[in-house]
Amino acid sequence: MKITKGKIAELLDQPGCEHNHKKESQKNKACKQQAQPGAAQGGCAFDGASIALVPITDAAHLVHGPIACAGNSWGSRGSLSSGPTTYKMGFTTDVSENDVIFGGEKKLYKAIVEVVKRYKPAAVFVYSTCVTALIGDDIDVVCEAVANKYKIPVIPVNSPGFVGSKNLGNRLGGEALLEYVVGTKEPEYTTPYDINLIGEYNVAGEMWGVLPLFERLGIRVLAKITGDARFAEVCQAHRAKLNVMICSKALINMAQKMKEKYNIPYIEESFYGIADMNRCLRNVAASLGDAQLQERVERLIADETAKLDIVLAPYRERLKGKKMVLYTGGVKSWSIISAAQDLGMEVVATSTKKSTEEDIARIKTLLGADGIMLEKGSAAEILKVVERTGADLLVAGGRNQYTALKAKIPFLDINQERHHPYAGYVGLVEMARELDEALHSPIWEQVRKPAPWDLAHHNPTLAHYIH
């Protein structure tokens, strides 16, 4: 797959995405997320492609570029595996100055062969980076040569960082799957209840709280794209009866093109909160068109809701009326609001960065007239919003953790670096527990007390003992 202006324009002009450049209505205005020169804007295209593909657990992921592009491969993403751990191994060609001068294709060939012989992965994904794309290394040709000789899938991922944003990189990763992986293998059997989950990366093991629900209903997840996935299942994804997009526009191009090529319809759902989880199960059953399946869904929802009411009762009592500022990206900026409201909390502000126009419309509905929407928020601005709204808690990504803690504000990490699953019914219980522990930790009472040296100015006796 060659990266051309036409290909980039095609990916930014997705019919299923509200950030479609060609749409003229005010609601679906042009995408605001194109990267500016010299700015990564929350992650580059290479980062986005690796996020989308690395969770395929039995594959090796080889970065053709300087070693810094490989990053902390083992611990940087919280996508968990129920089996192989090959995906966490950090493979890189470690391009040097000599390679920049003389070319890195031979080095890449040797690296792929070494990975294949030593680790015997199900497949190898090879990622181009800014440096190797600029010097003109043809990774497509190298990958094809190794694949033909060693009879193993070697997939080139042309997503150098400079071509665009992280979201564009997600779609480039999806294009690699569509071109080289999906449709290359047939499943042993199919059922009328086969679905794919697209855009779910099993962060902190979240998917494991949802898959048992589908199993209880008799729905088979044929392919997970890509959380805790195996390469073979992604190859078979073209035989599903329905694609379920999970809280993400990142791989909308996959859903759209699989609809066009394989006639697989798709729906967009969320796993966060009781209302969204219920809606997801109902919509999946309705899309599959089975009346008995719909009856099973209603029984399951009634059973799970009754259990949750009992388990969540003490948390709802302690969290009721607490105010939250939510600063995250994309669909989480509205889907977490629904989960918080299930617990009796009030979300007084949320971010709209990386949100589509449809997301923003949902946020307005959920927040109400008094809700604050932050398009961009510096640390100072977030703290001003917290102070103005009287918020009790900041829920954001890890980079905002120390902003909150220095300001003596309880904090909960909601982004992909977290270690706790919040999806599904069991995930809501975990979220309630984490929110409760963050808000009611005894440390806040202690750190908010005046320091002894501040008290000393008003108490001469205490000042004597301090000095």
Is pLDDT of 400 > 60?
Answer: yes
Q: What is the pLDDT of residues 277-335, one digit of tens each?
A: 999 999 999 999 999 999 999 999 999 999 999 999 999 999 999 999 988 766 666 77
Is pLDDT of 368 > 80?
Answer: no
At 374, the pLDDT band (50, 70, 90 cuts) reads confident
User: What residue ranges define each of the domains in the chain, with the CATH number in brackets?
Assistant: 5-180 (3.40.50.1980), 194-305 (3.40.50.12380), 320-419 (3.40.50.1980)
Q: What is the mean pLDDT of residues 22-45?
A: 52
Q: What is the pLDDT of residues 193-237, one digit of tens each?
A: 999 999 999 999 999 999 999 999 999 999 999 999 999 999 999
At 138, the pLDDT band (50, 70, 90 cuts) reads very high
Is pLDDT of 384 > 60?
Answer: yes
At 419, the pLDDT band (50, 70, 90 cuts) reads confident
Distance, first Cα to last Cα, the chain: 72
Query: What is 398-464 written as a DSSP string?
Result: GGGHHHHHHTT--EEE-STT-SS---HHHHHHHHHHHHHHHHT-THHHHHTSPPHHHHHTT-HHHHH
At 28, the pLDDT band (50, 70, 90 cuts) reads very low
Higher pLDDT, 461 or 440: 440
**What is the structure's pLDDT at 137?**
96
Instruction: List the structure tokens of 374.
Output: 């932050």
Q: What is the mean pLDDT of residues 35-56?
A: 77
Q: What is the pLDDT of residues 241-253, one digit of tens each?
A: 999 998 657 899 9
Is pLDDT of 372 > 80?
Answer: yes
Is pLDDT of 37 > 60?
Answer: no
Closest CA to 71 of 98, 100, 101, 51: 51
Is pLDDT of 362 > 90?
Answer: no
Pairing verdict, β 154-157 and 266-269: unpaired
| pLDDT more than 70, % of the chain | 85
| pLDDT more than 90, % of the chain | 60
The verdict on whether omega for the bond into residue 226 sits within 30 degrees of 0, i.e. cis, is yes
Helix (H, G, I), strand (E, B) or coil at 225: strand
Is pLDDT of 359 > 70?
Answer: no
Instruction: List the structure tokens of 39.
Output: 């700015």
Higher pLDDT, 139 or 12: 139
Q: Where are the alpha helices (DSSP H) in 240-290?
A: 252-262, 274-288
Mean confidence (pLDDT) of the chain: 87
Higher pLDDT, 41 or 167: 167
Q: What is the mean pLDDT of residues 39-43?
A: 56
**What is the structure's pLDDT at 349?**
87
Supply the DSSP symbol for 306.
Answer: H
Residues paired with residue 220 on neighbouring β-strands, in sequence order: 194
CB 414 within 8 A of CB 264: no
CB 200 within 8 A of CB 207: yes
Higher pLDDT, 217 or 413: 217
Helix (H, G, I), strand (E, B) or coil at 120: coil
Least confident of 65-74, 75-84, 267-276: 65-74
Q: What is the pLDDT of residues 143-199, one digit of tens each?
A: 999 999 999 999 999 999 999 888 899 999 999 999 999 999 999 999 999 999 999
